[in-house]
């Protein structure tokens, strides 16, 4: 008999009942150090007092009105996002997947309105992940996600990650946009080098196509800048955001330049819940933290500390670990042993990490993690690696 919950997830046998900072408490009382943060979502830790306050204040006043009316919290968050980024305008969604839907629609509508309805192609890269909607799975293109779900949304061109020659050949008169994660998350924490992001920007400018960044996982201070692309000094035309921006409350956004958004006129897009007062009240509180230069400096300091300690850990377990990669507090350990075994051994040591493709375990701690918790994480991973190595 089918379970009453549609069985699409392979869930670990833990049930968390409380969260505080970098810690999750299991129903049986055990406390786990959370280096997954709900897959890069709880950017300011669990039950962050400022976020709890923002949410409960708003919950006591008004939950939902719909986008038929003015929503001041939404306006405030759009103003904060545009003040701190390349963007001129923002549309709010409830998830990263919905942000992908709009990013694709926006790029195509842009060219349609410019008198180029033939420009519908979106170039994407192997190992990418953009969500599980029809556009999201067609964009990423991996068989694991698309098999059996055809016919797929047409118009996506899939290239090998890092294949510059293929990219130059693939751009043609039907290309609308290039869509890329500045740091691939699900694909195994693979940062796109700054010079490649710059090269993409140049190519898009030269050929007159739109550049879309998916910063759903790598954005919102995760890499030590407000958005990951800032390290490269270039900006996209359209950007997808989600996860960290809501700190655990479902919230996403598409940010765009005035030019790129020019096709999205009255009635061309909408959402019942997107940008609701609860999500946006929390989003404003998140933005107030992550735009503080002192906060970002701390993320960078702790990222350097964690990376240095991980190098030592990897050197101590050459049979289990291969190397560390990533940016800021978006770190991946490429494993020699099975990444699933390492994640599982971590559970026994009361530490949560997240597997990714390419036999990587992801470390995506709350950005508020303390130095002592970093030390604790290293000793737990050390014990987990010893258990895997001995097995
Ligand atoms: C880079 C990227 N894009 C899009 C998504 C989809 O976001 P959501 O699960 O919020 O729909 C994810 C989720 O993991 C992601 O990592």
Instruction: Tell me the pLDDT of the chain (391 aa) as tens digits.
Output: 999 999 999 999 999 999 999 999 999 999 999 999 999 999 999 999 999 999 999 999 999 999 999 999 999 999 999 999 999 999 999 999 999 999 999 999 999 999 999 999 999 999 999 999 999 999 998 999 999 999 999 999 999 999 999 999 999 999 999 999 999 999 999 999 999 999 999 999 999 999 999 999 999 999 999 999 999 999 999 999 999 999 999 999 999 999 999 999 999 999 999 999 999 999 999 999 999 999 999 999 999 999 999 999 999 999 999 999 999 999 999 999 999 999 999 999 999 999 999 999 999 999 999 999 999 999 999 999 999 999 8
| Among protein residues, the one whose CA lies closest to atom 8 of ligand 1 | 96
**Ligand 1 pocket, 216 CB below 6 A?**
yes
Q: Is the peptide bond before 333 cis (omega within 30 degrees of 0)?
A: no
- Biggest alpha carbon distance in the chain? 64
Going 353 to 355 to 361 to 364, the CA torsion angle's sign is negative
Which has the closest alpha carbon to 40: 202, 208, 221, 161?
Answer: 221
Q: Are 129 and 163 in contact (CB under 8 A)?
A: no
DSSP 244: G
Best residue among 128, 131, 357 to mutate for probing ligand 1, ranked by most atoms within 8 Å of CB: 131
Instruction: Give the span between the Cα atoms of 186 and 130, in whole angstroms.
Output: 9
Question: How far from each other are the two terminal CA atoms of the chain, in whole angstroms?
Answer: 36
269's enclosing H/E stretch is: none
The CA-atom distances, in angstroms, between 364 and each of 152, 228, 318 are: 32, 14, 22
Give every CB contact of residue 285 below 8 A, 6+ residues apart in sequence.
50, 51, 53, 54, 247
- The pTM score is 0.98
Q: Which pLDDT score is estimated for 212? A: 98
Q: How far apart are CA 185 and CA 357, in angstroms?
A: 9
DSSP character for 112? Answer: H
Output the CA 317–ligand 1 centroid distance in Å. 32
Q: Which residues of 104-128 are buried (b: 16+ CB within 10 A; e: fewer)?
A: bbbbbbbbeeeeeeebbbbbbbbbb
Determine the Cα–Cα distance for residues 124 and 139; give it in Å rounded to an integer. Answer: 6
Atom of ligand 1 nearest to the CA of 217: 16
Mutational pocket test of ligand 1: of 8, 130, 254, the residue with most ligand atoms within 8 Å of the beta carbon: 130
Q: Is 217 in the pocket of ligand 1 (CB under 6 A)?
A: yes
């Amino acid at each position: 008999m089918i379970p009453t919950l549609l069985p699409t997830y392979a869930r670990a046998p833990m049930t968390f009942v409380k969260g505080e900072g970098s810690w999750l408490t299991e129903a049986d009382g055990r406390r786990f150090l959370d280096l997954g943060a709900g897959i890069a979502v709880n950017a300011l830790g669990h039950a962050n007092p400022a976020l709890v306050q923002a949410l409960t204040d708003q919950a006591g006043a008004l939950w939902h009105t719909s986008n038929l009316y003015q929503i001041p919290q939404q306006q405030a968050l759009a103003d904060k996002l545009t003040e701190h980024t390349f963007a001129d305008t923002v549309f709010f969604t409830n998830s990263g997947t919905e942000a992908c839907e709009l990013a694709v629609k926006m790029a195509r509508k842009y060219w349609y309105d410019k008198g180029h309805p033939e420009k519908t192609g979106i170039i994407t890269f192997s190992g990418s992940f953009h969500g599980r909607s029809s556009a999201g799975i067609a964009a990423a293109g991996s068989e694991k996600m698309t098999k059996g779900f055809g016919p797929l949304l047409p118009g996506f061109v899939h290239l090998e990650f890092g294949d510059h020659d293929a990219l130059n050949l693939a751009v043609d008169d039907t290309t609308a946009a290039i869509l890329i994660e500045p740091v691939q998350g699900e694909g195994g924490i693979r940062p796109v080098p700054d010079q490649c992001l710059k090269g993409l920007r140049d190519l898009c400018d030269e050929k007159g196509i739109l550049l879309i960044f998916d910063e759903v996982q790598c954005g919102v201070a995760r890499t030590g800048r407000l958005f990951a692309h800032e390290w490269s000094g270039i900006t996209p035309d359209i950007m997808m955001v989600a996860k960290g921006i809501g700190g655990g409350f479902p919230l996403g956004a598409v940010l765009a330049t005035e030019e790129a958004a020019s096709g999205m006129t009255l009635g061309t897009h909408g959402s019942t819940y997107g940008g609701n007062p609860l999500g946006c009240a929390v989003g404003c509180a998140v933005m107030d933290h992550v735009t503080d230069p002192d906060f970002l400096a701390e993320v960078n300091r702790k990222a350097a500390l964690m990376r240095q300690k991980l190098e030592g850990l990897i050197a101590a377990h050459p049979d289990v670990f291969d190397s560390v990669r990533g940016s800021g507090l978006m770190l991946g350990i490429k494993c020699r042993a099975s990444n699933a075994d390492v994640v599982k051994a971590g559970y026994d040591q009361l530490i949560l990490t997240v597997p990714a493709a390419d036999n990587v375990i992801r470390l995506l701690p709350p950005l508020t993690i303390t130095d002592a918790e970093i030390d604790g994480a290293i000793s737990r991973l050390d014990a987990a690696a010893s258990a895997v190595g001995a097995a």
